[in-house]
Amino acid sequence: MASAPSDTRISTDHIPVKLIIAGPFGVGKTTMVDALSEIKPLNTEEVLTQAGTLVDDLTGVNEKTTTTTAIDFGRLTLPGVVLYLFGAPGQARFQVLWQELARGALGVLVLADTRRIDDSFAVLDLVESTGVRYAVAVNNFPDSPEYPLEAVRQALDLHPHTPLVVCDARDPVSARASLIALVEHIRELMLT
């Protein structure tokens, strides 16, 4: 029998860690999971319909043609740990999904978009309701207003210790740096 391709094998000496990449509609969750995953990511993309515009506001993301209908899933192996990455929608109507998804998660990376900063509130409410620790990464688009990070922190009413970074969800190095900021934060909290 042929052995499995190396990129699909899971090493048993790596600690499994579940992380969630969350954020409002169209913020770049699927893009980030795709950029990070070493396996072909599971995507649940479907074409956006006219009916969908009644529930998700396309303002600022008019170029968008598809949306994730459930979750994204990918995997990233780092020294000693294997990260299981779940891309999850952050609109308030996904509260039920979150109750299940948050179970066993070590942390959440919340993506934010400075073109639509208000859309982050529902996500932050959902994440805070789960009690899972989180960090925030601003995903920059070409037409994103560039506010100082302190202004974004204030606008989102983040705790002074909550990590806040800027990222490019398309870039694996940048995406990985955001995850590291999250994991380092959780590590520090666990040690104190």
Ligand X SMILES: Nc1nc2c(ncn2[C@@H]2O[C@H](COP(=O)(O)OP(=O)(O)OP(=O)(O)O)[C@@H](O)[C@H]2O)c(=O)[nH]1
Residues that bind Mg ion in the complex, under the rule CB under 5 A: 29-30, 68
The closest of 70, 67, 28, 24 to 49, measured between CA atoms, is 67
Count the helix, strand and coil residues of the chain and give each as a percent rounded to the nearest 5: 35, 25, 40
H/E stretch holding 182? helix 172-191
Query: Restricting to residues 42-71, which ones interact with ligand X according to CB under 6 A?
Result: 64, 67-68
Query: H-type helices in the chain, by residue range?
Result: 29-36, 95-101, 120-130, 149-156, 172-191
Using an 8 Å Cβ cutoff, are 125 and 90 in contact? no
CB of 192 to ligand X, least distance (A): 32
From ligand X, Mg ion, none, which one binds at residue 169 (CB under 5 to 8 Å depending on kind)? ligand X
Using an 8 Å Cβ cutoff, are 29 and 23 in contact? yes
CB of 30 to Mg ion, least distance (A): 3
Residue 27 interacts with ligand X (CB under 6 A): yes or no: yes
From ligand X, Mg ion, none, which one binds at residue 141 (CB under 5 to 8 Å depending on kind)? ligand X
Residue 98 interacts with ligand X (CB under 6 A): yes or no: no
Residues 5, 142, 148, 160: which binds ligand X (CB under 6 A)?
142
Residue 75 interacts with ligand X (CB under 6 A): yes or no: no
Using an 8 Å Cβ cutoff, are 74 and 45 in contact? no
Only segment of 128-136, 145-153, 166-174, 181-189 that touches ligand X (CB under 6 A) = 166-174
- 3-class SS at 86? strand
Judged by the rule CB under 6 A, the positions of this chain that interact with ligand X are 23, 25-31, 64, 67-68, 89, 139, 141-142, 168-170
